[in-house]
Amino acid sequence: MRLKAPHGRAEVNVSNLRVDFPLYHGNARSLKKMVFHSVSGRMGADKNNRVVVQALRDVSFTLRSGERLGLVGSNGAGKTTLLRAVAGIYEPVGGQLRVTGTINALLDPNLGMNPDLTGRENIALRALYVGMPAAMIPELEQDVADFAELGDFLDLPVRIYSAGMLIRLGFGLATAFHPQVLLMDEWILAGDANFMVKAQARLENLVRGAEILVLSSHAPTVVMDWCTRVLWMDQGRIKADGPPEEVLPMYLGAPVKRGD
């Protein structure tokens, strides 16, 4: 199902992107602390002493239609933050970020899913989230129901679903919208073998339909198979940028074989 009308050619343009995470633990969240600091003229000091995690630094790249970008790096390297920034969830603290084209970000499998609503109601709710016209909802419902094979459970609350049913519904729903720019976090590739066989075709269809793919993954074979370009992220910076054949061996310290 297409999201709105395509905006011509898709493009993602990121230059000198900087994202900082303020860490508000215990003290920094306290209003009292702020007030007392400002009264004693130490507000500036508080500001400087605040713990800030430099999540992304000097990240620049441009993706044109047809490019498939894989993000690799250790945990905490900034892959998910970068996906969130491109998705428009985190606004940059510095630098520029421009995305042309419709976006679908598969970041959280249970996005907006309400456990007390039935499967059918959750599908309708998601359609509203993405601003889909009411007339298209039955088509979406059919598409997701066919994939998730929930049968009569579709009209029961999601709360009582088994883990497998839940992931089928979440996956079916997330992959029902075909955007120009597709952002995927690795959860989408996690699941038992049975499910993956079924999911593969649907996912490949989605990826083929997208002009630009940004995929964050720990699995080198997936990146090798799907991506035309790899960004190796390390401590919020780009450590290497190039074709998978070059970057992946550097990242892993060993040659990578293509999967089949």
Partner 1 sequence: MRARQVAAIRDVRDTAGLWRLCWTLAWLDIRLRYRGSMLGPFWLTLSTATMVVAMGLVYSVLFRMPLVDYMPFLALSLVLWAFLQSTVVEAGGAFTAAEGMIRAQRMPYMVHGVRVVLRNLLVFAHNIVVVVGIDVVLWIWPGVAVVLVLPGMAIWILDALAITLLLGPLCARFRDIPPIIGSVMQMAFFVSAVIWKPSQLKDHEWLLSFNPFYTILEVVRGPLAGTVPGWDVYVSATLYSTLLCAAAWMLFARVRGRLAFWL
Site residues, partner 1 (CB under 8 A): 21-22, 24, 29-32, 34, 84, 87-91, 103, 105, 107-108, 110-112, 114, 116-117, 125, 128-129, 131, 134
Please identify, using beta-carbon distances, which residue of 157 and 191 lies nearer to partner 1. 157
Q: Are 238 and 232 in contact (CB under 8 A)?
A: yes
CB of 158 to partner 1, least distance (A): 12
Q: In angstroms, give the least distance from the CB of 129 to partner 1.
A: 6
Nearest approach, Cβ of residue 34 and partner 1 (Å): 7
Nearer to partner 1, 6 or 22 (CB): 22
How far is it, in rounded angstroms, from Cα 58 to Cα 21? Answer: 15
Return the number of the residue (115 or 259) whose C-beta is nearest partner 1.
115
CB of 120 to partner 1, least distance (A): 13
CB of 140 to partner 1, least distance (A): 15
Q: Which residue lies nearer to partner 1 by CB, 34 or 224? A: 34
Residue among 172 and 244 whose Cβ is closer to partner 1: 172
